[in-house]
Structures are given as C-alpha cells and as structure tokens.
C-alpha cells in the first residue's frame, strides 16, 4: 500500500481519500507520483528584502508558505519548478532572495517520509489575483504537475 499525504501529515482518520493532483484551497494536499504538496499561507503583499531586491513599478511581492513531502523513494525538490498562477492563468516565476522575513529555499533531496517547508516569493502585477501554486516541469517537455489552490 502506498503512503498518502495524510500519512505524511501525521494523521489518518480512516482510509485516505483518493489522491488529487490539483486542489482548490489552502491546507489541502495534492499528490502525484510519490510526491505531495500543500499551500499553508499567503502574504499579499509580502515584505520585500531591502538588500538586492527592488520590485518593478506596478508590481507587488506575494509570498506563499508551502510544504512538500516525499511519499516513497526519493525526490529532488527544485524551487525553480514552482510557479504562482493567477486567476487569468498567467504564471509567475519565483523571485529568489526577495523576502525580508523568510529564508530562501535551495535544491533539496527528499527521501520517503521527509518533508520540506518554506516560503517562496513571486512578483505579480498590481491587480493580479493569485489562485494556485504549481510544481512541475514546463517547456518543450511537460511532466505531470502538482497544483495547490490558494483559496480560503
């Protein structure tokens, strides 16, 4: 029997629900291919670092606290594979070392049962409404992605 995000979360009140690769709300785990992810909180706007980061005019910094877990085997987490998606479907890359209050994340090897928790910053236009956090490869080859919602 494969591990589930409920097992990683440390609670299991009966059988786990069917794993989903996409969720709608904060606190809901998405899982696929032995990796699970959840968005815990959103800071909008986030407090930017005063060293080495300056927002472009007409933009703001949005921070998302997330957690990733490896359900089986091993997984190499790469923060560059996370994107913020707004309600219009526009994706934004993370901005490394942009936050004053939160440490930046690095590439990390996770093994079965291990979790990684942290914050990521994204620069978005004023008026944009963050909807989800997406983890996966895009480009000339598309690999299955995990998508967690940022809704209440």
The reported pLDDT for the residue numbered 9 is 57
Residues 62 and 104 sit within 8 Å (Cβ to Cβ): no
Residue 20 main-chain phi, psi, to 5 deg: -120, 140
- What are the beta bridge partners of residue 133? 84, 148
Residues 123 and 92 sit within 8 Å (Cβ to Cβ): yes
Burial of 2 (0-12, 13-18, 19+ CB in 10 A): exposed
Structure tokens at 7: 């097992």
Whether the ω angle into residue 47 lies within 30 degrees of 0, i.e. cis, is no
Cα separation of 61 and 44, whole Å? Answer: 7
The reported pLDDT for the residue numbered 105 is 87
* Lookup result for tokens 């899982």: 31
* Lookup result for tokens 């994204």: 122
pLDDT tens, residue order, the chain (152 aa): 344 444 455 543 333 456 688 888 999 999 988 899 999 999 999 999 888 788 899 999 999 999 999 999 998 898 989 999 999 999 999 999 898 888 888 899 999 999 999 999 999 999 999 999 999 855 544 446 888 999 88
Count Cβ atoms below 10 Å from residue 74 Cβ, excluding itself. 11
Residues 121 and 95 sit within 8 Å (Cβ to Cβ): yes
């Amino acid at each position: 029997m494969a591990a589930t995000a409920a097992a990683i979360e440390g609670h299991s009140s009966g059988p786990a629900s069917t794993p989903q690769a996409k969720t709608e709300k904060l606190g809901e785990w998405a899982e696929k291919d032995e990796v699970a992810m959840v968005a815990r909180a959103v800071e909008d706007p986030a407090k930017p670092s005063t060293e080495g980061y300056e927002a472009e005019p007409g933009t703001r910094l949005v921070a998302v606290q997330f957690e990733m877990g490896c359900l089986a085997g091993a997984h190499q987490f790469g923060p560059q594979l996370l994107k913020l998606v707004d309600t219009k479907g526009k994706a934004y890359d993370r901005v490394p070392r942009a936050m004053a209050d939160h440490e930046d994340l690095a590439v990390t090897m996770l093994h079965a049962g291990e979790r990684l928790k942290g914050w990521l910053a994204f620069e978005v236009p004023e008026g944009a409404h963050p909807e989800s956090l997406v983890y996966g490869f895009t480009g000339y080859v598309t690999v299955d992605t995990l998508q967690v919602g940022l809704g209440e």
